[in-house]
Structure 1
Amino acid sequence: MPDGSPRMASILAYQSSEIDWCESNFQHSEVVAEFYNTISNVTFFIFGPLMMYLLHPYAQKRSLYVHCVWILFMVVGAFSVYFHMTLSFLGQLLDEISILWLLAAGYSIWLPRSYFPAFLKEDRSRFTRMVLITTVVSTLLAFIRPVVNAYVLNGIGLHIIYVVTLEYRKTSSAELKKMVLVSLAWWFLAVVSWLSDRLLCAFWQRISFFYLHSIWHVLISITFPHSVALMVCVDVHYEMPQYISEIHYWPKKSWPVGLPYVVVRDRKEPEKNC
């Protein structure tokens, strides 16, 4: 047997990951380690195709590469299912790496050119290649030192927050400002759920409430479409000056919770929402 085979078997093995969430293992199935953490990923497979459909008119005008973001969004859901089902080290790596590729795809498509490093001269193709190379290198290093992935993820995430903050200060649109605040609220609730599951597990186990990481999956799958809608509005402003953007909600704007998406219209039409 080749020397690498035992190592491969170990990273595929159930519960070979050092990460174990608060939910009790194998309580509802002999093959699913964390039942609720696994099935809660269903929102990724519902919202992904739906957002792809809702943003297709924008993608037709901008670039069909936009759809790659929603494909990767569903890949994140699939690898999260695999990880929580097995708690394997390979599942952990695939889960984390897929999130990195999702953020990198959105970053390369929607980051305004004015925020590119000066040496790229606002050339998006060069910027995309730089992001791709960084992501590939980070992916390879993650198999050696998984912590590398966390540093790159945090770096991209913090820069996106920085860009959104600057654009929030620039805009005069009340609706866009509201969207930023709503997105931050969803993100805050998601992070609180994630941290509570990790840091206060003993308390949640005492009261038999094991669902906070499951709630994180649902909340973050709602947060991401909000963040994309923000970046699309910014993108239309910078990359598509011949159009105006309007924020719409599915299924209805009047509903307390809905998924935002952006419709682009010719600038000759009078109403402008963001």
Structure 2
Amino acid sequence: MTIVLITLDSCRRVLCFIYEHTNLSFSEKIAEFYNTISSVSFFISSPIMMYLLHPYIQKRNRAVYLIWVLIMLVGFFSAYYHMTLSYFGQLLDELSILWVLAIGYMLWFPRRHLPTFIKSRKSFSLIVFLTALLSTILSVFRPTVNAYALNSVAFHIIYVISLELKRCTDQRIINLAFVTVAWWLVAISCWLSDRLLCAFWRQINFYYLHSFWHVLINIAVVHGTTLFAYFDAFYEIPETNPEVKYWPIDSQYLGLPYVAIQTEDNLRKSC
């Protein structure tokens, strides 16, 4: 993402000034009150998605559970970071996001989009793992670019989604893809505005944008992981007739999307 970088320290000085006069009125032990509380959203969505995706995970790959465990760690480290504003907390937060992306690529990157020199998903996963490991090491030395580098991965994800939509005729999936990108656009707008327009938000005493980012990106992640889980099920286990449903209300506007498959018992009954 080509953006003029503002150093973390300068932005934090502005934020700390704000929180010294606002957040401490809620708690003297939490540096950024609203950002800490909004991190709880990751703890709420992850168990729900593990439950909803259970049939798909059991049929396809139990490693999918690991993604949602890591997303809970993202929430935990994010809360820790915003409570303390420590460099260690920031690093753990960003590294947990890095490994969520890495495992997502290993599990869900469509096989037909693999580079020609990679012959199997196992080889691709090894390359992704080594890349993530190297990035983990390098992130210690260049921490100011970590967040921008992680967010830039979204452009490749959107590109892959666009390739899949060229072959997709299911309007329900097309709608899910557009809703996913829309949630991400709103979320990243909050994140960028919070980073690049710190002084402006300070002037009008508005300090909730990063909190909005936490909730909105969590919603985008739920939609995006469901979309790629559907693509995976569609290509790898088509006999299960995968479809996207919504919980608790079957509405793309009011429910959480998840992949539903027909189990062997249901398939036998339909026969």
Percent of pairs with identical residues: 50
Equivalence for 2:71: 73
Q: CA deviation at 1:227?
A: 0.1
- Name the amino acid aligned to 1:111: F
| CA–CA separation in structure 1 for the residues paired with 2:211 and 2:155 | 24
Equivalence for 1:167: 164
Q: Which one is further off, 153-162 or 215-224? A: 153-162
Instruction: Select the residue among 189, 193, 198 that pairs with 2:190.
Output: 193
Aligned runs of 1:118-133 on 2, under 5 Å? 118-121=116-119, 123-133=120-130
Change (3 A) 1:230 1:138: same
Aligned runs of 1:198-213 on 2, under 5 Å? 198-213=195-210
SS of residue paired to 2:243: strand
Q: CA deviation at 1:258?
A: 2.0
Q: CA deviation at 1:147?
A: 5.1
Q: CA deviation at 1:266?
A: 6.2
Q: CA deviation at 1:172?
A: 0.4
Change (3 A) 1:118 1:151: farther
Question: CA contact under 8 A between 2:55 and 2:263: conserved in structure 1?
Answer: no
Q: CA deviation at 1:198?
A: 1.9
Equivalence for 2:222: 225
| CA–CA separation in structure 2 for the residues paired with 1:78 and 1:30 | 20
Instruction: Select the residue among 36, 43, 58 that pairs with 2:34.
Output: 36
Equivalence for 1:143: 140
In the TM superposition, structure 1's runs of 4+ consecutive aligned residues that sit over 4 Å from their partners are 266-269
| CA–CA separation in structure 2 for the residues paired with 1:130 and 1:137 | 11
Question: CA contact under 8 A between 2:176 and 2:252: conserved in structure 1?
Answer: no
| CA–CA separation in structure 2 for the residues paired with 1:58 and 1:22 | 43
1:25 maps to 2:19? yes
Equivalence for 1:4: none
| CA–CA separation in structure 2 for the residues paired with 1:34 and 1:46 | 20
RMSD over aligned CA atoms reads 2.1
Change (3 A) 1:255 1:237: closer
Change (3 A) 1:131 1:230: same
Equivalence for 2:3: none
SS of residue paired to 1:247: strand
- Deviation track 1:85-129 (CA, whole Å, cap 9, x = no partner) reads 1111111111111111111111110001111222221x1111111
Change (3 A) 1:197 1:145: closer
Instruction: Select the residue among 234, 241, 244 that pairs with 2:238.
Output: 241
- The total of aligned residue pairs comes to 252
Question: CA contact under 8 A between 1:34 and 1:84: conserved in structure 2?
Answer: yes
- Deviation track 1:189-212 (CA, whole Å, cap 9, x = no partner) reads 111111222223333223322111
| CA–CA separation in structure 2 for the residues paired with 1:104 and 1:265 | 28
Q: Which runs of 5+ in 1 are unaligned?
A: 1-16, 270-274
- Deviation track 1:137-170 (CA, whole Å, cap 9, x = no partner) reads 1101111222564575356433221110110111
Question: CA contact under 8 A between 2:39 and 2:78: conserved in structure 1?
Answer: yes
Question: CA contact under 8 A between 1:100 and 1:149: conserved in structure 2?
Answer: no
Structure with greater contact order relative to length (CA < 8 Å, sep ≥ 6):
2
* Larger helix fraction of residues: 2
